Structure 1
Amino acid sequence: MAIVLSSPEVDELGGALGALREWQYEGAPMQLHPGDLGWFWRFGAAATAAAVRTWSRDGRILAVGLLDGPDLLRLTTAPDARQDEELARRMAADLTGPERGVLPQGKVSVEAPRDALLQEVLRADGWDTGEPWTPLRRDLTEPVPDPGVRIEVVGPELATERAAVQRAAFDGSTYGEERWQAMAAGPLYAGARCLLARDARGRAVAMVTVWSAGPGRPGLLEPMGVHRDHRRRGHGRAITLAAAAALRELGASSALVCTPSANPGAVDTYASAGFRRMPEVPDRCREL
């Protein structure tokens, strides 16, 4: 049977979400995580469905992609399909095909697992090495140290405050309470937790959202940020420790995060909270 590219409707997303959960395992390369879709859900169910692409053969989903912005496709494959040549070549063709290209004209990027054959197919097709990212992992076998600050679990009553910290942590962010409400209404938030850290004066100084892929599987931090007025005081380490502890409570086997290698401060913050650096993963980029 031929490989089929699809853009699922909202009520069809369950298959893609289930596949992504199943593909998370200890020792896997950094890859698209269910939490990435959970975080994207802040734009609503319809927008999330419109951003998802799947590749299937004989009714089985082999790859899932997320258009995380108009010019970036983040994707992963079933572990046993990483070296499937037919799949890799079909995905590469679908990225830029004249009739149904997944990516638009202009400079575009693709993020894929470092061990996927697609990486080599794209390189052979003229795709350059793009921005490098540093994945980090913390094992959750043992209890996580106390973060040393007050941590609160965010519910609707704290959504406005959590959103304000998000905007103060990321330049240009327009994240508001309505985005949090949309994210929390999504099906993936049942396995998530949003946290706020407060300083000794009770001010909200950092936030994080963590996403479980199910018991015994790696969980994800996405996003984590510290209020710009409260940096360099250990709050990043504190909220990261709290995130790891929350994932452990949710049954995750490890905590994962990925940050641009060009942001050494972020890499150092995660390392200070016991996260171990893994090999860099560069995007593939091309001018179409």
Structure 2
Amino acid sequence: MIDGMATILDDAVRALRAWQHDDAPVQLHPGDVGWFWRSGADATAAAVRTWSRDGRIVAVGLLDEPGLLRLTVAPDARRDEELARRLADDLARPERGVLPAGEVFLETPPGALVQDLLRGDGWHDGDAWTPLVRDLAEPVPDPGLRIEVTGPEQAHVRAAVQRAAFNGSTFTAEHWRDMASAPPYADARCLVGHDQDTPVAAVTVWSAGRGRPGLLEPLGVHRDHRGRGHGRAITLAAAAALRELGSSCAFVCTPSTNTAAVATYRSAGFRQLPERLDLRRAA
């Protein structure tokens, strides 16, 4: 990866860290970029978009899938009309390379002005998402599983649980090493939960720094070991790890259609926040 791309990524992650606050925890997190880094530094650099003004980054986007852009804006610029119009214009023009032509989806922070502009330009509500948050001021109960922090020697175990938890996952130990070598992982941990000696669940947690919200991304239970409370257990372990890292709270966002996941997080002490909708532009 060339130096300029590395600098852009470093600056984007630094901005995302600074934008995380308890009063607005649901937005693009440095951990989202960190998890994408499993695809390698070059792919991550190609997926990140930044907008700057007067030498300061004011918006960051991550093309998480070919037709899905996860976009966030600096908290003090969410209602900035000049920035919102610039974003809307860039999103409408495939030749600018922000989004491809055809059907696309966009996630933005609730209340961002760019949402209003896009709805007035033919975008419609898309999929529903449910954010959940757990305060970490108090100690977290013991999860009831043996928890192991993944290091290079255990990367193959973490990868195997990931593949067994998510249909179609191609996550490998090499992907883990790429992710773990990235700057966002300096404040992250991968945890694997064991029922006796059997790995049954896994999660990666991402801190944005002491006193800021931390993220769970991803979390999954091995398909052969579901229905035994392991989802709640690994969620509690994730919250405890973030508390140890100094996070003020732990948050996660899951499709509203995944009612089982919502129930699992709530059982682990997470509070359900108002549902949010992404935006969809038809082909």
Q: What TM-score results when the alignment is normalised by the length of structure 2?
A: 0.97
Deviation at 1:11, TM superposition (A): 2.9
Q: Which residue does 2:173 correspond to in 1?
A: 177
Deviation at 1:52, TM superposition (A): 0.5
Q: Which residue does 1:25 correspond to in 2?
A: 21
1:124 to 2:115 alignment: no
Q: Summarize the alignment of residues 32-47 of structure 1 with structure 2, pairs less than 5 Å apart.
A: 32-47=28-43
Q: Which residue does 1:166 correspond to in 2?
A: 162
Secondary structure of 1:9's counterpart equals helix
Aligned-residue identity in percent: 69
Paired residue total? 280
Deviation at 1:168, TM superposition (A): 0.6
Secondary structure of 1:125's counterpart equals coil
Unmatched segments (≥5 aa) in structure 2: none
Task: Specify the code of the residue in structure 2 equivalent to 1:176.
Answer: T
The ranges of structure 1 where at least 4 consecutive aligned residues each deviate by more than 6 angstroms after the TM superposition are: none
Q: Which residue does 1:154 correspond to in 2?
A: 150
Q: Which residue does 2:62 correspond to in 1?
A: 66
C-alpha distance in structure 2 between counterparts of 1:111 and 1:154, whole Å? 31
Task: Specify the code of the residue in structure 2 equivalent to 1:16.
Answer: A
Deviation at 1:187, TM superposition (A): 0.8
Deviations 1:164-201 (A, max 9, x none): 1100100111111110010001011110000000113x
C-alpha distance in structure 1 between counterparts of 2:269 and 2:94, whole Å? 46
Deviation at 1:115, TM superposition (A): 1.3
Secondary structure of 2:215's counterpart equals strand
Superposed CA RMSD in Å reads: 1.0
Q: Which residue does 1:4 correspond to in 2?
A: none
Q: Which residue does 2:247 correspond to in 1?
A: 252
C-alpha distance in structure 2 between counterparts of 1:203 and 1:174, whole Å? 21
Deviation at 1:238, TM superposition (A): 0.3
Deviation at 1:140, TM superposition (A): 0.1
C-alpha distance in structure 2 between counterparts of 1:270 and 1:210, whole Å? 14
Secondary structure of 1:99's counterpart equals helix
- Tell me if the contact between 2:94 and 2:101 (Cα under 8 Å) persists in the aligned partners: no
- Tell me if the contact between 2:25 and 2:251 (Cα under 8 Å) persists in the aligned partners: no
Q: Summarize the alignment of residues 1-288 of structure 1 with structure 2, pairs less than 5 Å apart.
A: 9-200=5-196, 202-288=197-283
Deviations 1:88-115 (A, max 9, x none): 1110110121531411122100000011
Secondary structure of 1:66's counterpart equals strand
C-alpha distance in structure 1 between counterparts of 2:8 and 2:119, whole Å? 32
C-alpha distance in structure 2 between counterparts of 1:187 and 1:17, whole Å? 8
Task: Specify the code of the residue in structure 1 equivalent to 2:229.
Answer: G
Q: What TM-score results when the alignment is normalised by the length of structure 1?
A: 0.95
Task: Specify the code of the residue in structure 2 equivalent to 1:49.
Answer: A
C-alpha distance in structure 2 between counterparts of 1:29 and 1:233, whole Å? 30
C-alpha distance in structure 2 between counterparts of 1:75 and 1:121, whole Å? 15
Secondary structure of 2:200's counterpart equals strand
